[in-house]
Structure 1
Amino acid sequence: MNLKLILLLGVYTLLCISARAQFSLYGDAEADTIGNCAIITPDEQYQRGAVWSNGQLNLNFPFEWKGRIFMGCNDDGADGMAFILCPFKDTVGVDGSGLGYGWLWQSLAIEFDTHYNPEVGDPPFDHMALVKAGQSNHNEAPPRAGPVAIIPGGGNAEDCQEHIFRVSWDPVADRFEVWVDCELRLEYDGNIVKDFFDNQPRVYWGFTGATGWQANEQHFCLEFANAGFNVQQELCEGAIIELEAGPGVAWDWTPGDGLSDSTIQNPMAAPLTTTRYEVVVTDECGFTYEQEYLLRPAPDTLENFFPLGQDTAFCAGDSLLLDAKGFRQRNIWQDSIIGNTFLVTEPGLYFVDMFNGCVAARDSVQIDLMEAPNLQIPEDTTLCEGEVLLLEPEPFVLDVEWQDGSTDPIFVVDTAGTYWVSSSNACGSGRDTVTVDYVANLPDVNLGNDTSLCDVNEFILAVDLPVGLFEWQDGSQTSSYRVTQTGVYYVQGTNGCSRSLDSIQVRLNNTPAVDFEGTTPFCELVGVRLAAPWPESSYMWDDGSTDSTRFVETEGTYTVTISNECGAQTVSTDAVATNCGCTIVAPTAFTPNGDGINDQFGLTYICTLQQAVIRIYNRWGNLVAESSDPAFQWDGTCDGGDCPEGTYMWSVQVEFDSDEQVVDYQRGGSIVLMR
């Protein structure tokens, strides 16, 4: 049973806006989830927003507006915001230096300009001014008051802080005041209804703002707006109501009779007789304002209440009579039918409102249609080894029986088989069946240990899994795989339940067989780099060095032993010096990064060439580039891709004319590749 108080508002006009005030957003303005706040412009370039009150003020009466304004955190931001009074809304004015209010005719604007625009008459500090008719260009129309510094003392207003902002209008004294952080900043003595609004007293209040090339978040938070009218309420006898005063730091309610506390903002009131409560509110700046509440108790005449009972159900074809008799006042059912009883023939939510003009009560009951159980458990299914299936009938019922005679509402399946569940009620019985199968996990696949093979051309990998349940690393699904080069190979199998995976590294290598015999000519004073490359091998020269190449400048026989896991080869060559008369110029580094500067490596020959064969090796002695074109330029690629950074060896075998003879000449060196 629910009892509800009926609060009857009096005929007095009310405009006392608290943290529940409503306003509308326009342009780029956004709602703020914190308190009664709104973001006028986000911290983005070229934004223009406005926030307007939904209700109008009557400036023939006193008006107070108090809240907090935030002008951003960026001292170089732009452009500013403005508080507006205007007889129309649903619009945004000129952006940029117009602060969103520019050219709003018949408006009163308090501008907060945080960006220096000398071309429109701005002073060189964050300022505020009272402006008429949207004339934001102070060179064309001077403000009606100001400009003055926004922050008392002339400080930076874009200080990432909220500032107290208060506007006050006294139509008796014809005085309009603007306060910031508890100090009077602007004042205007005159009839603003006549001077600004052509004797039209009804206006909306709002905020506008704009950004340009520079930006700032700009927002406001409303704390209180009061048009000077009071509240009259009528409440039932014995009821308690919370009175709501505007925000402040001190409150003085009179009289104190019937109040829970006369010094708090929102005391609880339970007057026994008609009482007029007055409160004087003092805010943090020391300002005071008054509000009034007129409370008039009314008698409580509710005597008896007969609820509709607990939620229930009935079978198809039946009906149910709801009875609310015994209540002396009028009963209205959910479909607006008036009476003490209601005949239910369809399932649904039914309620009755019972009231006597002061106190209202409502009771409701959910009536469902009961049918014979139509139990549903999952369709026939296949599970993976080790999985379990929870069988839970839908719709959920407590009274069930499973194939094994158990009566738990949930049955756990962990083996293959056929399972059923049944249930019955006053309207009939139902049953459902499911068959469950299981799939075993795949056996582990084993390709063996990593292996290295010498002087063979291929290696066969085999797997013992059903065809169609596995694949090799290249997507093939044959039972065996032919390996023809060094690499990592893997096979994986899956049957939808389990996954079997194995990999193997296979290294195919050959015993070194380098053609290094014979004579190697070189130019005197130049030398030659000897190279006997073989993949994945180590080197031992007759001088104890272990590099893949060796630079020599003197004649002699040079021997190197080339070794790998497949064997070793010892070879020699005779280095013979000749007077070549040919100079080869080679850079020491290049950067093939595509910037057009030093992107390629090439040789320059100062002689008359007959032939030149250029070879480039990596640090392991593997050939990465070769050309018989003397003008060859290496771009730093290997096998169609970018070579890694590091040191590479080069050699060149040239034939050139010298003293009417063709000289065969070899030279080598190193080049550093950087990206």
Structure 2
Amino acid sequence: MQSRVVRMVCWLAVCLPGMAMAQNLLENGGFENYRSCPRQDNLLNEAVPWYNPNGATPDFYHQCFPTVQMELAPHSGQGLGRLFLDVSWAEYLATPLKKPLVADECYFFEMYVATPTPGKYLNGTMGAFLSEKPITSSEKGLFTADAQIIDNALTTSIPQLRWERISGYVKAKGGEQYLTIGSFKRLPVFLGYFYIFVDDVSLLPIEMNLGKDTTLCGRKSTLSLDATTPGATEYRWQDGSTSPTFRVTKPGTYSVTVTTPCKVLRDTIKVDYALDFDLGRDTTLCEGQTMTLKVTPGLPPTFRWQDGSTATTYPVRQAGLYTLRVEQARCVATDSIQIRYVLPPRLNLGLDQNLCGAEVYTIRPDFAEGKFSWQDQSEAIVRTVGQSGFFQASVSNECATIRDTIRISYGDCGCVLYTPDIFTPNADGQNDVFQPFGCGDITITSLSIFNRWGELIFQTTTAPFEWNGKYLGKTAPVGVYGWLIHYQLNQGTGVLAEKKRGALSLTR
């Protein structure tokens, strides 16, 4: 099948992308904006609205003025902050929120940190504190606030100057309007001082919204639904898929459940199509066949086929691409279907055959316009047969499948078991074994040899059914021997168990 050709033009009002992630409640969380380009240390206040909450001297650096103090590239963008921690010296970054937090609502905090001296990093001290009023001090010491976010994951084994994430959830008491970042548990001991860089700070509401119920233009229009939620641990859509996003390709109701450590969110959206029609899948027809394409009932009257005609049906009598274009206001939908014609397959296995004795017959199929196969899964197309039976084959293509059968029969002239009267086991390569054989409908099951006194001297029940003229590993003497052969005879409607006796002469 060839690929479908589909073109859709949507109404402007409904061709919107999926919902974006929740808005960061921090302004300038990536330290990108400044009042004046910082050209020295201790200029956090240039990164508005960030400010210094105590008497220490936090830093703000930006690539507008490169400096060796900026020991690594920002996590993203061009700016970053830096804190210095020492005995009795604690630096902090503080900023107001864009709006107060709502009581009992969940929020996701995240920031990236890096240090040039990871061996001095104090695990379980760095974090973030959200408060209703700003915390300030003219002193340079530790804020011992009960911070909602404290890092307990990073250790002194973190790589040097590599950005690491500190994150966590906050359930608001309500009214929190200020964020302070720094150490809230303890400060370094003597000679344990270290710097820590901070970038990409965010505080996001734990919320998710798929948007309002939507109407798209044509049947093949698509819509991307985005359920991305800060810190989500699992996404589950109505079909069981687990991606944060879902692409809508047909009308229906779509729902998602998002699990976070703080709460579970659910949302549903209904998607309709204004011009809901489909000409069907690309189709292959046999030569001489026709089909009729139809306009879906209820479509607006403004439509036309690829040749400009406006009938509600369109007869197809030859191969080609057939297109229906429908308009309604500013919505235009076009669907196409590719029609292909192929010749019907041909197959001829030949006439039925009546064979005699040990005759065999080679079936040479005459076929075209399709793929050939035997019913019994035989791999060779040309096959030689030597037994009665019905042999069926087929030839298939996208148009049709045809079958033919040929009958092979040994019944008209009788099926005979042949045995030699004499054999000469002298290793001259001629007539060295006694070996019976029969027509294709005979299956030998055992061969027994007796001496002149009726003693059994040889017997086999497996092919090849032959005697080499030896008894107990030695050459049997010249003389007359008796034989007994059991065999099965295929009679078309059944199988007969038969046996035959006779004599043979062993000479040299």
TM-score, normalising length from structure 2? Answer: 0.31
Larger Cα-atom Rg: 1
TM-score, normalising length from structure 1? Answer: 0.25
The structure showing larger relative contact order (alpha-carbon pairs under 8 Å, at least 6 residues apart) is 2
Larger relative strand fraction? 1
